[in-house]
Amino acid sequence: MVAPARSHSPPAAQAGREAEEPPTSYRFRTPGREDGQVMWRLVKENGVLEPNSPYCYILLADHFSDTCVMVDGPHGPVGFVAGYVPPKMPDTVFVWQIGIAPSERGAGLGSKLLDALLDAPGCAEVRFVLATVTPSNTASEKLFQAFARRHGAPCEVPDTFGEDLFPGANHEAERVFRIGPLARQNREEIAVETFEKHESNVRSYCRSFPTVFTKAKDHRLWDDVGREYVDFFAGAGALNYGHNNAKLKRAVIDYMEGDGVLHSLDMATEAKGRFLERFNEVILQPRGLEYKIMFPGPTGTNAVEAALKLARKVKGREGIISFTNAFHGMTLGSLAITGNAFKRAGAGVSLNHATVMPFDRYVDDDFQSLDFMDQMLRDGGSGVDVPAAAIVECVQGEGGLNAARMSWLKRLAEICTEHDILLIVDDIQAGCGRTGTFFSFEPAGIEPDIICLSKSIGGIGLPFAITLMKPEHDVFAPGEHNGTFRGHNLAFVAATAALDYWTDDKLSKEVQAKSEKIRRAIEDLIERHPGLEAEHRGRGFMQGFATSDPELAGKICAEAFKNGLIMETSGPDSEVVKIMPPLTIDDIGLEKGLKILARAVETVVPASDKRPTTDAA
Ligand SMILES: Cc1ncc(COP(=O)(O)O)c(C=O)c1O
């Protein structure tokens, strides 16, 4: 075994006093770059440990954060364990250093940190723990032996870094302790067959991604055999801020630990009040927008149903104009304005009170679909009654990543005004920053009468939806539209914390810059694989490409999954490969995902159909 480039110090001495349980106020978490200096200070204060350079701790807390754990006491950080997974031993975590504040010695924190390390996002595959201990450090030896006993795993000393490796350094030999194999949480107990046996035939995503997922962090997921996946799916747009986003998770945990109200129908709670205030302060006011906020129930289709009912009540008309390839949800009202024939057929009843108009570029780039709509509304002989509202997605997520031009959206808003029709923007998938601005319609400069938001408004994947209406359309009588789950306070808390991302334009700018990278990668793929006969689709962080043969899109996504990338298809024939990473994905994750996608395309498109290639995306 090769010694680490820089000798690490032995873990802090605190074994032998492991019986006491740590106070419950300890919180274990993934470190961030800013914790580097805290780690360094903890090591310096410890007295027993040999500090590395301060910069080394910044790197540990940042680049190695997935294999490190910080622990906070009531007044701030009190300890950490730093580890790394050697590339040639992906099932092994090497414990680099454990640092504990002198005030916390004897609380059993060393053991707890080692256990927490196994739960760190980068340790999902770990079955062995390695650490080096000097012969004089009996406390650390006891710590690791106790850890091995607790986990019922053998503890061996297979190797030693002798003193001769540190000539003139006056450094004791380092004995290598190897603990494992470790049994990991009944991982093998849930088989894919369990879902086939017990879950309804209607299940779908588990067919596209046939594995059992056990852990998720930021833009990554892990399954029960420890395989890592880059997530280019993001819960169909519900995870714009990534899985278990540290800040949002903290807010949710704090709220629960404080016994905050969890369920409250639509009673007034502090959590809801804070969300209302913050949404106004961070989202509406800076954009000069004024809307009342309705909580229609927790899902996207709840927000759409409320919008349709409200528009009908405001205008006293039944009809709704929807657009080709629209997707608005699975309840009957939403299904009536959804294009997909397969989904519509599932209704089992006739779907009424809706008129379909061609979306932008539905016929071709030149067809003036809105002139057509205008004419249909003007012409007393067209057979189209003036509706209560028109509902539109600025980028059609499920319908094939069709992005309406801004000029088209502007003109749609004008036509709605001219014909006294309310304009509803369904921003359930394209909103919350997915296209680079909080609302997808912002670059068009329009102000819809009603806006539907769901998916990522709940921040951390919690079910949550809101329907926004201009104050003059706030006409429901008290209780006229209600439901049990409109007071999901955990979602309010996560949603409020997520709004912090919108206090400045940092995330927005990052999304816009990374969107360009995605666009270039797609264009490159299209150019290098003429056999795909593909066309670029979408904008922002909802881009992809349509293939001429729908089977290809499915095959590409399946091949990508085999290689550790999660993506889905969209479009009426599932012909579009859809790239939808969390907005918070870093450059490394984005590039990794794009490379897997490029390899999948290489594999799926017949060799004779492709030009010679240089490198992946
Ligand atoms: C634009 C749009 N509207 C509505 C919905 C329905 O949301 P939910 O599945 O939460 O009911 C979706 C879901 O994908 C959507 O993309």
User: For 564-590, how does the pLDDT look when each residue is reduced to its tens digit (9 = 90+)?
Assistant: 999 999 999 999 999 999 999 999 999
Q: Is the CB of 305 under 6 A from ligand 1?
A: no
Residue 7 covered by a domain: no
User: Ligand 1, atom 7: nearest CA belongs to which residue?
Assistant: 300
Q: Is the CB of 304 under 6 A from ligand 1?
A: yes
Check whether residue 224 and residue 173 sit in a common domain. no
Q: Is the CB of 459 under 6 A from ligand 1?
A: no
Pairing of strands 535-539, 542-546: antiparallel
To which residue do tokens 């590409």 refer? 556
Q: Is the CB of 35 under 6 A from ligand 1?
A: no
Check whether residue 513 and residue 479 sit in a common domain. no
Structure tokens of 439? 């609302």
User: Ligand 1, atom 3: nearest CA belongs to which residue?
Assistant: 328
Q: Is the CB of 454 under 6 A from ligand 1?
A: yes
Structure tokens of 374? 């205008």
pLDDT in tens, 295-326: 999 999 999 999 999 999 999 999 999 999 99
Residue 197 covered by a domain: no
Q: Is the CB of 428 under 6 A from ligand 1?
A: yes
Query: Torsion-angle region of residue 421: left (phi > 0), alpha (psi -120 to 50) or beta?
Result: beta
* CATH number, domain containing residue 420: 3.40.640.10
Check whether residue 39 and residue 172 sit in a common domain. yes
Taking a C-beta distance cutoff of 8 angstroms, is the pair 248, 460 a contact? yes
Residue 427 covered by a domain: yes
Pocket test for ligand 1, best of 328, 331, 435 (most atoms within 8 A of CB): 328
Q: How confident is the model at residue 468 (pLDDT cuts 50, 70, 90)?
A: very high
Task: Detail the DSSP E strand segments found in 103-166.
Answer: 128-133, 155-161
Higher-confidence residue: 414 or 160? 414
pTM for the full model?
0.76
Beta pairing partners, 67: none
Check whether residue 63 and residue 151 sit in a common domain. yes
Check whether residue 423 and residue 320 sit in a common domain. yes
Q: How confident is the model at residue 422 (pLDDT cuts 50, 70, 90)?
A: very high
Higher-confidence residue: 492 or 102? 492
Q: What is the pLDDT of residue 149?
A: 86
User: Ligand 1, atom 8: nearest CA belongs to which residue?
Assistant: 300
Across the range 230-240, mean pLDDT stands at: 98
User: What are the two backbone dihedrals, phi and then psi, of residue 542, each rounded to the nearest 5 degrees?
Assistant: -135, 75
The C-alpha atoms of residue 326 and residue 356 are separated, in whole angstroms, by 9
Pairing of strands 174-179, 128-133: antiparallel
Beta pairing partners, 160: 175
Q: Is the CB of 333 under 6 A from ligand 1?
A: no
Q: What is the pLDDT of residue 444?
A: 98
Across the range 407-433, mean pLDDT stands at: 98
Q: Is the CB of 328 under 6 A from ligand 1?
A: yes
Structure tokens of 66? 């997935």
Higher-confidence residue: 581 or 138? 581
Residue 8 covered by a domain: no
Task: Tell how far the Cα of 493 is from the centroid of ligand 1, in angstroms.
Answer: 22
Q: What is the pLDDT of residue 511?
A: 98
Q: What is the pLDDT of residue 189?
A: 66
Helices (H) and strands (E) in the chain, counts: 18, 24
Higher-confidence residue: 367 or 461? 461
Q: Is the CB of 255 under 6 A from ligand 1?
A: no
Taking a C-beta distance cutoff of 8 angstroms, is the pair 394, 430 a contact? yes
Higher-confidence residue: 226 or 347? 347
Taking a C-beta distance cutoff of 8 angstroms, is the pair 431, 439 a contact? yes
The C-alpha atoms of residue 124 and residue 67 are separated, in whole angstroms, by 10
Q: What is the pLDDT of residue 587?
A: 95
The C-alpha atoms of residue 68 and residue 95 are separated, in whole angstroms, by 9
The last residue of a domain, from among 156, 184, 212: 184
Q: What is the pLDDT of residue 490?
A: 98
Q: How confident is the model at residue 11 (pLDDT cuts 50, 70, 90)?
A: very low
Across the range 100-111, mean pLDDT stands at: 88
The CA–CA distances, whole Å, from 515 to 122, 201, 319, 570, 571 equal 27, 36, 37, 19, 21
Q: What is the pLDDT of residue 402?
A: 98
Task: Tell how far the Cα of 482 is from the centroid of ligand 1, in angstroms.
Answer: 19
Check whether residue 322 and residue 450 sit in a common domain. yes
pLDDT in tens, 35-93: 999 999 999 887 777 888 999 999 999 999 999 999 998 889 999 999 999 988 888 99
Structure tokens of 249? 């998770």
The C-alpha atoms of residue 223 and residue 206 are separated, in whole angstroms, by 12
Residue 610 has pLDDT above 80, yes or no: no
> ∠ CA 164-170-171 to the nearest 5 degrees?
70
Residue 275 has pLDDT above 90, yes or no: yes
Q: How confident is the model at residue 614 (pLDDT cuts 50, 70, 90)?
A: very low
Residue 554 covered by a domain: yes
Residue 364 covered by a domain: yes
Check whether residue 516 and residue 469 sit in a common domain. no
* CATH number, domain containing residue 581: 3.90.1150.10
Q: How confident is the model at residue 425 (pLDDT cuts 50, 70, 90)?
A: very high
Of 35-39, 44-48, 283-287, 476-480, give the lowest mean pLDDT range.
Answer: 44-48
Check whether residue 229 and residue 333 sit in a common domain. no
To which residue do tokens 């880059």 refer? 230
Check whether residue 417 and residue 364 sit in a common domain. yes
Q: Is the CB of 223 under 6 A from ligand 1?
A: no
Check whether residue 32 and residue 173 sit in a common domain. yes
Report the number of distinct structural domains present in the chain.
3
Check whether residue 301 and residue 444 sit in a common domain. yes
Q: What is the pLDDT of residue 581?
A: 98
Domain containing residue 605: 202-244+506-609
Taking a C-beta distance cutoff of 8 angstroms, is the pair 403, 546 a contact? no
User: End-to-end CA distance of the chain, in Å?
Assistant: 35
The C-alpha atoms of residue 595 and residue 601 are separated, in whole angstroms, by 10
Across the range 111-121, mean pLDDT stands at: 91
Q: How confident is the model at residue 609 (pLDDT cuts 50, 70, 90)?
A: low
Check whether residue 343 and residue 434 sit in a common domain. yes
* CATH number, domain containing residue 68: 3.40.630.30
Residue 191 covered by a domain: no
pLDDT in tens, 78-90: 999 999 999 888 8
pLDDT in tens, 523-544: 999 999 998 999 999 999 999 9
Position in ligand 1 atom list of the atom nearest CA 455: 10
Task: Tell how far the Cα of 401 is from the centroid of ligand 1, in angstroms.
Answer: 14
